[in-house]
Amino acid sequence: MINKSKNKIFNFLKWTEKWTKTDMVYLAKGGFWLSINQVFTTLSALLLSVAFANLIPVEKYGEYKFILSIFPILAIPTLSGMQTAINRAAAKGFDGVLMTGIKTSVKWGMLGGVASLFVSLFYYLNNNINLTLSFLIIAVFVPFMDPLNSFGSFLQGKKKFELSTKLNIVREIFNTAVAIISLLLTKNIVLLIFIYFISRTIIRFILLLITIGKAKENDAQDSESISIGKHYSLMGIIGIIAEQADKILVFHYLGATELAIYTFAMLPINQLNGFFFKNLSVLAFPKLSEITAEELKKTLPSKIYKYMGITLIISAFYIILAPLFFKLLFPQYMEAVIYSQFFVLSFTLVPFSLYNTALSAQGAVKKLYNFSFMTSTIKILLFMVLLPIYGIGGAIATILLIQLCAISYLIFIFKRI
């Protein structure tokens, strides 16, 4: 009976390939585990957001969010692009790149620790004890926390989606439990920051050891992977700054309370983006690495427009249901509803990000340099102009405008790979 049902599902998936022009069997197998993973990630984020919305004052949450927004900038020297290189190398059978990439990231990450000490000194001179102590804590953990998370990229490159999902679920349950317990025990920002970083560093180290024991099959090295990782990292620097610029500028111009409102306005949409596009991107990357650019040009555009039909329907439902959603879960953040409904427009355009995934998979480093630098620079400049004038609405309008510009440019360079 079970085998008969499996055969029917298999035949149905093969039949749908006539319309999707995609390996639906691969997508279903990998997508099942990635969807399970994203369900846990989404539920964890929801539980944490409810906890933060109800267990900590709005202004304190804004300060907490500001500190965490500075961290990715301090972590730039840890070479975030190395994870993409590890993914790419693992897909090609070069398992040894995992540890080589992590060691390289940690070594460079020491610069981030030094930078955090200077930030701490700045706030000490400005008599802000919370930020002084928080950035002292970050100085200790910044070289290690993100590089240790490379186990996920490695497993995705190996197409070991089941193991990746199980480890990520363990990580999410652990992180969520620790965060909620800490919120119940203390409202002290410095203590919450310390718990955040030490708990995540420890769990990532443990999961990395498990990954090495269960999935690493060889010590083969790829001579170009570390170089590619550095290129991806350099290419992404201004993008990382642009990604955090809105939150930093909202805190600077509007204050901690407005940053908290802005964060909750974006939270549901970011989870939607993660649930739908992140899974699709992770599944697509190994496949896109294996096929030629000419084949991509023929097949990818039509798939993207079909996926966009789905995001349009979901966005329409969200606009209708958002007020009820906020009233039930975040009643003290009802001011964020209108901004969240506005921001959902970004979700409709998410499928176009597959062009970026395709270009990364094809190793189009120079073309992506131009893309990242141009869009991120314009994004930062628009934030600086529109945010002080139009507030949160100006920040969201900037994101949507940049997204449209980015899509146009991605299509342009995709046609020329």
Q: Cβ distance 380 to 321 under 8 Å?
A: no
Residue 391 and residue 258 in contact, taking contact as beta carbons nearer than 8 Å:
yes
> Beta-carbon neighbour count of residue 328 at 10 Å?
9
pLDDT at 342: 95
Q: What is the pLDDT at residue 25?
A: 47
Q: In terms of DSSP H, where are the helices of 187-255?
A: 189-215, 225-253
Q: Interhelix angle for 256-273 vs 58-74, to 10°? A: 60
Extract the tokens encoding 36: 């399970």
**pLDDT confidence of residue 159:** 84
Half-sphere exposure of 290 (CA within 13 A, CB side): 13
8, with CB counted inside 10 A (0-12, 13-18, 19+), is: exposed
pLDDT at position 49: 93
Residue 13: the pLDDT is 44
Contact, 132 vs 123, CB < 8 A? yes
The helix (run of H) or strand (run of E) holding residue 1 is none
Position 285 scores a pLDDT of: 63
Domain segments of the chain: what residues? 2-414
SS3 of 109, please?
helix
pLDDT in tens, the chain (417 residues): 445 544 544 454 454 445 544 554 455 455 566 667 777 888 888 899 999 999 999 999 999 999 999 999 999 999 999 998 999 899 899 999 999 999 999 999 999 999 999 999 999 999 999 999 999 999 999 999 999 999 999 998 998 888 998 999 999 999 999 999 999 999 999 999 999 999 999 999 999 999 999 999 999 998 888 998 988 898 788 889 989 999 999 999 999 999 999 999 999 998 888 777 666 666 666 666 667 667 777 777 778 888 888 899 999 999 999 999 999 999 989 999 999 999 999 999 888 887 777 777 666 666 667 777 888 888 999 999 999 999 999 999 999 999 898 888 888 877 777
In this structure, the chain runs to a length of 417
The total of other beta-carbon atoms located within 10 Å of residue 243's CB is 15
What is the pLDDT, as a whole number, of residue 362?
A: 66
pLDDT at res. 209:
97
**pLDDT the model gives residue 366:** 67
Distance CA 107, CA 230 (A): 13
Residue 310 Cα to chain centre, angstroms: 21
